[in-house]
A and B are shown apart, each in its own frame.
Chain A
Amino acid sequence: MNDPVNDLVEVRPGVYRDSVTLMRVSRSLTDRPGVTVAVVAMATELNLGLARDLGFAVPPATPGDLLVAVRAASPEELKAAAAELERQLAARAPASGARGEAAPPRTTRSAARAFEASLALVSVPGEHAFAEALDAVEAGLSVMIFSDNMPVEQEILLKDRARDKGVLVMGPDCGTAVVGGAGLGFANVLRPGPVGVVAASGTGAQQVTSLLDLAGVGVSHVLGVGGRDLSAEVGGRSAVRALRALDEDPATGLIVLVSKPPAPEVARAVRDLDPATPVVAALLGPGQDDLTTAAEKVLRALGRDVPEWPSWPAPANRADAADASAPRHAKPSGGERGGTAARGGAGGALRGLYAGGTLCAEAALVAGAGEFTDFGDDSYTRGRAHPMIDPALRLEALRGVASGVVLMDVVLGHGADPDPSSWLAPAIREAVARGVDVVVAVVGTDGDPQGLRAQAARLNEAGAAVFTSNAAAARHARLLAGP
């Protein structure tokens, strides 16, 4: 029974915060002792329904209002939670607006008038992204659209306008970009260097560039174009522009194109560009190179040595998982098959629990068999944050695996979870104790805020075999799973 005395339900008209911010507020309230449940969200139909299902008496509201619904075990704890809520909302209020200070701009158009920008980063909900992105293009700015769920005709229109204005539209659904060294969206801390990347796949580009960084090779720019750009419908509008721009960029000595195999006519258009700068294609699909092999091709094309990609085999004695070993290095994937000995559990079903879509597809291709889930897929992110930020669904899935082999990715860098091993390591430890083999691909660099080696070591201490190459991780998992 819900005692309404310990429920706080409020609608605050016209108060807006973005969904990731509100998700964090909700989570930190839920984590408080005595708080049973907390929903702090924009009052969309979905969220209102959620609150009603939880038994809250929700007053009428519009999607432009903020919904607050908190339930606690006692009135005191409810009061404390309410105070914490105020503190957090105040801290997350948009900058300025105070008396005497210039009010913050309300549209991208207005911001562009007052601030000499080189590009805009749009991450508002998809149905509203078009207006902001168009503002940027009309102001003569390139734009990265992190938002997804933008209708394809809007994407095409934006990209055509961008052509007229001499700017680039990265996205929609563009997860990563590095421009002039600045990591936008989910991006790793990469050293400057000669490799320019055109990416229709965010995590795919992160894997390739992270491996290059581990090999001491940096990037000039990583230009995301959005997952749909190389489809027949969009016709590679942005990919073609990005390739041309990188071809003209004196800092770019080699271009990598990371994508699913493009539509045939788009592939032809890209080929017809015939840039003066050499291009290495990393086109993920059956019969194509995996991303690690593509990164190795890039290194060879630059005349660089291919290093052994760092990996950390699972501790030999699984009962004493905390006895971590020093990192080992896997052989280059080119010639290696099963170089890392399969050992440990009794094998069994392979479950892939992924946050990165391309990494998931690559792992499924390399492993050949098993059940793979991409938790970054739209059907899992509706109404919640991306799994690279919100681990809840993946954790639940991991806890549900009783035996066999689990293969996961952990993507580090800007925008990603600040400390993924803090929640993943305990869950791995439990899984290993249940007899599950856990294999993790960590995509990241030494410069990333989370620290690649520190994260890898903690996951490894918990009992996982850890790889920096997703393909190597998938191969290892396949061996563990057995025939």
Chain B
Amino acid sequence: MSVGTRPRGRRAATPASRPPAAPAYLSGAASVAVRPALEAPRRPARVLAAFPLALYLEIRSEAEPHVVAVVTGEATRLPNAVLLAERLDGVSAGDDAWVGEGSVEVGGVSIRVRRWWDPAPPLGPADPVRLAPALGLLGRARAASPRRPGLDPDGAPALLERGCRAGSLVESITAAERLIGLGPGLTPSGDDMLAGLLVALRHLGAAAGVPRAVWLADWLAAAVTYDARTRTTPISATLLHCAARGEASPEVTGVLRGVAGHQPLEPAVHRLLRLGHTSGADLAWGVQIGLSAVLAHREGQ
């Protein structure tokens, strides 16, 4: 049995009579989205990428999530993240790791989870009357922000918006397939946009009582996750799987809560827009398309 973390510099919390455990134990919090990976038998993994505030581990497994993020400090709590109170130093891309049987082992430490959060918190009912003004506010905040999305608005994004608003599966799925993996970086712009769209359709559709939006989310989710692993980066593929289930980082769920009228929308949008180089702007764009589709289908009801 492990005794839990001894944050650096507080080692003396161990009673003197009990020597510290041989491998260093750390503990933190995690999204319940990674619970299946942690509760599974111990499997090998490798470090895909290592940044000062985040590590990405790819598990050798067919099951999702197959990428787990280990984040610290002010890094974004991705829906596939394990959160630590302190940084993990000395880990590089390509290092071996293990995930399963309750822990993540990387860089000589064994990480256990002592708190779980829900990356898809239920939104509760949203007053439909508030949704239209929220769409306007979201659009204005995006337009006023220096943070721009990574994609040209014409082409696939325009087609996606048209298809979603019209409820056309052919158009929206065609657009989605063109968007998967489109753009540079660990999480390509097209994927971020689709992720924003998927969570917005699912949560706002349910909150505003628009089953057609949830139906669209189901179909798009199936299409996007079907071959995500072969179409985009491993990290992005896992995040798309998360988004397909309505799971997102708190910055995204904060905007959804704002749209639903449960918290101030504008600061939430600005928090989202600040994420990454273009990720926040791409996600916000996707959320806006989702919201506009929910409104369109609500009118059609």
Contact = CB atoms under 8 A, between A and B. Distances in A.
Do any beta carbons of A and B sit within 8 angstroms of each other in the complex?
Answer: yes
Interface of A: 24, 27-28, 31-32, 84, 87-88, 91-92, 180-183, 189-192, 218, 249-251, 414, 418-419, 447, 449-451, 454-455
Contacts of A87: 12
Contacts of B29: 181
Interface in B92-114: 112-114
B52 to A, nearest CB: 21
B114 A414 contact: yes
A449 B115 CA distance: 10
B32 A418 contact: no
Sort A-B residue pairs by CB-CB distance and give the 5 closest, nearest first.
A250-B124, A91-B12, A192-B118, A28-B16, A250-B122
A84 B2 CA distance: 25
A249 B118 CA distance: 14
A92 B116 CA distance: 28
Given A87-B12, A88-B16, A192-B116, A454 B122 contact: no
Given A32-B16, A447-B114, A191 B35 contact: yes
B117 A181 contact: yes
A270 B121 CA distance: 27
A87 B12 CA distance: 8
Contacts of A182: 115
Interface stretch (B3-11, B139-147, B217-225, B292-300): B3-11
Contact of A181 (B13, B16, B115, B124): B115
B104 to A, nearest CB: 14
B121 A91 contact: no
A32 B13 CA distance: 16
16 contacts: A24-B15, A28-B15, A87-B12, A91-B11, A92-B12, A183-B115, A189-B114, A192-B118, A250-B121, A250-B124, A251-B121, A447-B114, A449-B3, A450-B1, A454-B1, A455-B1
Contact of B16 (A84, A180, A218): A84
B27 A449 contact: yes
Interface string B238-266: 00000000000000000000000010000
B116 A418 contact: no
Contacts of B4: 418, 449
Interface in B15-38: 15-17, 27, 29, 32, 35
B182 interface: no
A218 B13 CA distance: 30
B53 interface: no
Interface string B112-143: 11111110011111000000000000000000
Contacts of B114: 183, 189, 414, 447, 449
A419 B11 contact: no
A295 to B, nearest CB: 19
Contacts of A24: 15
Contacts of A447: 113-114, 116
B176 to A, nearest CB: 28
A459 to B, nearest CB: 13
Contacts of A181: 29, 115-118
A245 to B, nearest CB: 13
Nearest to A87: B12
A191 to B, nearest CB: 5
Contacts of A192: 32, 116-118
Contacts of B123: 250
Contact of B1 (A249, A251, A451): A451
Contacts of A418: 3-4
Greatest chain A CB density within 10 A among B27, B114, B262 is at B114
B17 A31 contact: yes
A251 B122 contact: yes
Contacts of B11: 91
A254 B27 CA distance: 30
Contacts of A449: 2-4, 27, 112, 114
Contact of B32 (A183, A191, A249, A451): A191
Contacts of B32: 191-192
B119 to A, nearest CB: 9
Contacts of A454: 1
B242 to A, nearest CB: 15
Nearest to A250: B124
A135 to B, nearest CB: 25
B3 A189 contact: no
Contacts of B27: 449
A449 B13 CA distance: 15
B116 A191 contact: yes
Given A91-B11, A91-B12, A192-B116, A419 B1 contact: yes
Given A88-B16, A249-B124, 17 more contacts: A27-B15, A28-B16, A84-B16, A91-B11, A92-B12, A181-B29, A189-B115, A189-B116, A191-B32, A192-B116, A192-B117, A251-B121, A418-B3, A419-B1, A447-B113, A449-B3, A451-B1
Contacts of B17: 28, 31
Given A250-B121, A251-B122, A31 B16 contact: yes
Contacts of A91: 10-13
Contacts of B10: 91
A32 to B, nearest CB: 7
Nearest to B126: A250
Nearest to B10: A91
Contacts of A455: 1
B127 to A, nearest CB: 13
A346 B27 CA distance: 46
Contacts of A84: 16
Contacts of A250: 121-125, 262
B12 A251 contact: no
A454 B117 CA distance: 25
Contacts of A27: 15
B54 to A, nearest CB: 20
Nearest to A189: B114
Interface string B152-181: 000000000000000000000000000000
A218 B117 CA distance: 11
Nearest to A193: B118
Contacts of B122: 250-251
B107 to A, nearest CB: 21
Given A181-B29, A250-B121, A88 B12 contact: yes
Nearest to A24: B15
A251 B118 contact: yes
A255 to B, nearest CB: 15
